[in-house]
């Protein structure tokens, strides 16, 4: 009898998820001794009384590596450690359903699980592993903020989308002599903003790791308008904040979704500049989820596929509690515990910070 592998995608989606799923399914078919199933919307599918799971046959996985999103769906409201549950009096609370989840996975005959997800999802993987579940993690995030891997798939696609948008903003900024602010994703890490600033040729780049001073931003803008008509393009990460201010966002109202919805720092900056003697008209563009949707670029397809194949290999070899990782140009693995211990953020001594400063890109700190 064939062994059974359960695959799921959790948290926010990311270009390349389908390429991972296909990589796992194809490697399993090549191996011949395993069948691969997908749990619909993270662990929610397998937790249902009548489990919502699909067998990932060729029919489902053929050609999906070029497709954005995830064919098995995802959610950020299905944390089995903190599962939203309604009490008899109608009020809601959250409960730990991990024991029940592990029993369900075993009762359905699964020998191993591959959890494809970001920091939050891998923390869940680690908790389940510690409770005895045979689980392997695959890192995913456009923000590139996971430790223990040099890069995550989805990041290159997000940078490509942001850079293409930035290029378009440059020509309109130049025509109108405007200062245009483009807000990109990046909660705790400014990787997307930093890469886009260099690829696109920004004048100012504002990231969560370097709190900015409005006056320093204004100084750089003024320097561009000195002696005539200039233009300025700014890229700002959603998690960036002024030195004496805070991150802008709102608490999600969705039960079970604990994360703060970031967004709005670009408009905040515009308003602050307009209140001062900014020499130009200022406009803000928020790229938002366009950075997460659509087809992955070739690099992300390749990385995601290789990570999928590696995840199958780890599951087949019984290397549980491990997360697939890309390090020094090799697809390898690390303990999940190591991967979730801290965020991978932009260090002030990273070579791209120096590159940017040499290009006279201001981080708004001086
Ligand atoms: O973590 C990836 C990410 O894209 C962040 O950059 C962003 O803040 C967040 O997801 C948005 O999540 P959601 O779509 O759940 O609001």
Mean pLDDT of the chain: 96
Query: Ligand 1 — pocket residues by CB below 6 A?
Result: 12, 76, 118, 141-143, 185-187, 238, 261-262, 292
Cβ–Cβ under 8 Å, residues 178 and 230: no
Name beta bridge partners: 330. Answer: 327
Q: Relative to the CA of 185, which ligand 1 atom is closest?
A: 6
Residue 6's pLDDT is 98
Gyration radius of the chain over CA positions:
22
The residue ranking higher by pLDDT, 93 or 364, is 364
Q: Ligand 1 pocket: which of 121, 145, 162, 185 to mutate (most atoms <8 Å of CB)?
A: 185
Cβ–Cβ under 8 Å, residues 27 and 308: yes
Residue 254's pLDDT is 79
| Distance (Å, whole) CA 175 – CA 164 | 18
What's the pTM value of the predicted model, to 2 decimals? Answer: 0.96
Identify the band that residue 78 occupies on the pLDDT scale cut at 50, 70 and 90. Answer: confident
Q: Ligand 1 pocket: which of 41, 74, 187, 196 to mutate (most atoms <8 Å of CB)?
A: 187
| Distance (Å, whole) CA 356 – CA 351 | 9
Distances (CA, A) of 216 to 220, 222, 227, 362: 6, 10, 19, 8
Dig out the tokens for 228 from the structure: 């005539």
Does 258 have pLDDT greater than 80?
no
Domains, the chain: 3-153+296-339 (3.40.50.450), 157-293 (3.40.50.460)
Of 199-203, 251-255, 294-298, give the lowest mean pLDDT range.
251-255
Residue whose CA is closest, atom 14 of ligand 1?
Answer: 12
The residue to which tokens 């990041």 are assigned: 155
Residue 12 Cα to ligand 1 midpoint, Å, equals 6
Residues in the chain: 366
Whether residue 143 lies in the annotated active site: yes
| Distance (Å, whole) CA 80 – CA 94 | 9
| Distance (Å, whole) CA 119 – CA 343 | 8
């Amino acid at each position: 009898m064939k062994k059974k592998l359960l695959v799921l995608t959790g948290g926010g989606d990311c270009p390349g998820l389908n390429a991972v799923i296909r990589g796992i399914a194809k490697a399993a078919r090549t191996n011949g001794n395993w069948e691969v199933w997908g749990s619909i919307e993270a662990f929610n599918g397998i937790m249902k009384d009548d489990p919502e799971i699909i067998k990932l046959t060729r029919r489902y996985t053929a050609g999906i590596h070029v497709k954005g999103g995830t064919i098995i769906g995802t959610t950020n409201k299905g944390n089995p450690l903190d599962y939203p549950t309604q009490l008899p009096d109608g009020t809601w609370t959250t409960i730990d359903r991990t024991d029940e989840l592990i029993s369900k996975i075993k009762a359905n005959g699964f020998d191993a699980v591959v959890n494809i997800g970001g920091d939050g999802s891998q923390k869940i993987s680690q908790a389940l592993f510690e409770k005895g579940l045979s689980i392997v993690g695959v890192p995913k995030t456009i923000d590139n903020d996971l430790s223990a891997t040099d890069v995550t798939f989805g990041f290159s696609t997000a940078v490509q989308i942001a850079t293409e948008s930035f290029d378009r903003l440059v020509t309109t900024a130049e025509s109108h002599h405007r200062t245009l602010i483009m807000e990109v994703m990046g909660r705790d890490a400014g990787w997307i903003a930093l890469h886009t600033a260099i690829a696109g040729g920004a004048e100012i780049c504002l990231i969560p790791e370097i709190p900015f001073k409005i006056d320093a931003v204004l100084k750089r803008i003024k320097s561009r308008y000195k002696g005539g008509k200039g233009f300025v393009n700014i890229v700002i990460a959603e998690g960036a904040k002024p030195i004496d201010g805070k991150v802008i966002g709102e608490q999600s109202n969705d039960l079970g979704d604990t994360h703060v919805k970031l967004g709005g720092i670009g408009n905040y900056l515009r308003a602050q500049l307009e209140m001062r003697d900014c020499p130009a008209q200022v406009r803000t563009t928020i790229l938002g989820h366009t950075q997460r949707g659509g087809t992955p670029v070739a690099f992300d397809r390749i990385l995601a596929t290789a990570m999928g194949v590696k995840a199958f290999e780890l599951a087949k070899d019984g290397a549980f509690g491990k997360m697939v990782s890309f390090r020094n140009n090799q697809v390898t693995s690390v303990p999940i515990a190591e991967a979730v211990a801290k965020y991978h953020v932009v260090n002030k001594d990273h070579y791209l910070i120096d590159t940017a400063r040499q290009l006279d890109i201001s981080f708004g700190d001086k």
